[in-house]
């Protein structure tokens, strides 16, 4: 049973990291023709945060990208997982709320943003993280 939980925690951590890093890769055109690109991402940021001045969109886009890169790599490496997972949960919850305000509740539900946020929160509740840099440091 313990091995199954360790495996599930590891897979959740890797899936969350991949989600963050894939989104960043798309806006940086690393997915080729399937990429959204930076310009489209800034436009989407403005739409998602329609309750804020449009001039804030480039700054929000830059901040969120930096946060997603940091969170993605830290989760992938397994470094400071508990803290990083909390940040991931809060960031994606803010995203889900902004989507709900601007597009309605269906949009964040369709894209599983609340589930992503809840998964990150769940990850932050475990006491140890096997197969991680944190585990290696505490041995």
pTM of the model: 0.95
For the chain, state the CA radius of gyration: 16
pLDDT of residue 23 exceeding 70, the answer is yes
Mean pLDDT throughout 7-29? 98
Predicted local confidence at residue 1, as pLDDT: 64
Burial (CB count within 10 angstroms: exposed 0-12, middle 13-18, buried 19+), residue 68? buried
**Quick one: angle between helices 81-103 and 2-27, nearest 10?**
50
Mind listing the pLDDT tens digit for each residue in 73-101?
999 999 999 999 999 999 999 999 999 99
Predicted local confidence at residue 139, as pLDDT: 79
The span from the CA of 61 to the CA of 56, in Å, is 9
pLDDT of residue 138 exceeding 90, the answer is no
Mean pLDDT throughout 36-56? 98
Mean pLDDT throughout 52-64? 98
Mind listing the pLDDT tens digit for each residue in 108-118?
999 999 999 99
């Amino acid at each position: 049973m313990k091995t199954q939980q360790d495996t599930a925690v590891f897979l959740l951590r890797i899936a969350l990291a991949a989600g963050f890093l894939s989104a960043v890769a798309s806006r940086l055109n690393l997915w080729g023709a399937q990429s959204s690109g930076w310009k489209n991402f800034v436009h989407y940021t403005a739409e998602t945060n329609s309750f804020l001045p449009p001039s804030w969109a480039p700054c929000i886009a830059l901040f969120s990208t930096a946060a997603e890169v940091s969170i993605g790599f830290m989760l992938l490496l397994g470094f400071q997982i508990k803290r990083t997972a909390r940040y991931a949960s809060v960031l994606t919850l803010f995203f889900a709320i902004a989507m709900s305000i601007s597009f309605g509740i269906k949009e964040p539900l369709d894209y599983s943003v609340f589930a992503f946020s809840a998964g990150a929160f769940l990850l932050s509740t475990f006491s140890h993280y096997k197969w991680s840099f944190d585990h290696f440091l505490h041995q």
